[in-house]
Amino acid sequence: MKPIIAPSILSADFSNLAKDIEMINNSEADWFHVDVMDGVFVPNISFGFPVINAINKIAKKPLDVHLMIVDPDKYLSKFKEVGAHVLSVHYEACTHLHRTIQGIKGLEMLAGVAINPHTSVSLLENVIADIDVVLMMSVNPGFGGQKFIENTYAKIADLKELILQKNSKAKIEVDGGVDLNNAPKLLKEGADILVAGNTVFSSPDPTKTISLLKEIRG
């Protein structure tokens, strides 16, 4: 199976976003990964609805929206309105996670749950059958360009086992520090979707880097 490649807009050139969106449109990438940070759940602020809406107007591929915000329930329908196809909330930010998942699905978006590096995969046991995506953080969320955390490999293997055990259709998405060197092992452990910010946008030829990621097999 070919991996789904989701370049992260956080590493794009914000003074010329249209150019980077066009590049992704014309590349082998599958999704746009869109990081929303509120300065409360994570120590950084990225962008909000007007920017996502603008991206959505020219993006020709689905928006994979990663919410790093507290109280996401307040904004689910707003994210649907600005074009989210996949909407992922953080396990650590949701007191009533099951309700939040139902809310996302009720709005006809794919439901994702993101887990921080310290969060055990076993905590997803009771929701794994209800979700479409697990967004496994391989860095602490908040910034692009951080170093990949090696413990992620073991967590992917655990998650794969849980998915099979529970007969879940959830896809495994890895986010943070993904590059051409660690991608083969991530896919081998069971990852289905690779997010890449720095690896794509800091490379001399981002289109080519996306193709190289797309060609990798586990």
By C-beta, is 61 or 166 nearer to ligand DX5? 61
Quick check: 64 binds Zn ion (CB under 5 A)?
A: no
3-state secondary structure of 131: coil
Name which of Zn ion, ligand DX5, none residue 11 binds, using a CB cut-off of 5 to 8 Å depending on partner kind.
ligand DX5
- Rounded to 5 degrees, what are φ and ψ at 47? -155, 170
Under DSSP, the state recorded for 74 is G
By C-beta, is 75 or 201 nearer to ligand DX5? 201
For the question of residue 20 being annotated catalytic, the response is: no
Residue 32 CB, nearest approach to ligand DX5 (Å): 11
Q: Is 141 left (phi over 0), alpha (psi -120 to 50) or beta?
A: beta
Residue in the shown chain whose Cβ atom is closest to ligand DX5: 197
Residue 195 CB, nearest approach to Zn ion (Å): 6
* Binding residues among 66-85 for Zn ion as defined by CB under 5 A: 66
61-86 as b/e: b if 16+ CB within 10 A: bbbbbbbbbbebeebbeebbebbbbb
By C-beta, is 166 or 214 nearer to ligand DX5? 214
* Residues written for the chain: 218
For the question of residue 38 being annotated catalytic, the response is: no
For the chain, helix, strand, coil in percent to 5 are 40, 20, 40
State the residues that interact with ligand DX5 by CB under 6 A: 8, 10-11, 33, 35, 66, 139, 141-146, 175-178, 195-199
Catalytic residues, by residue number, are 35, 175
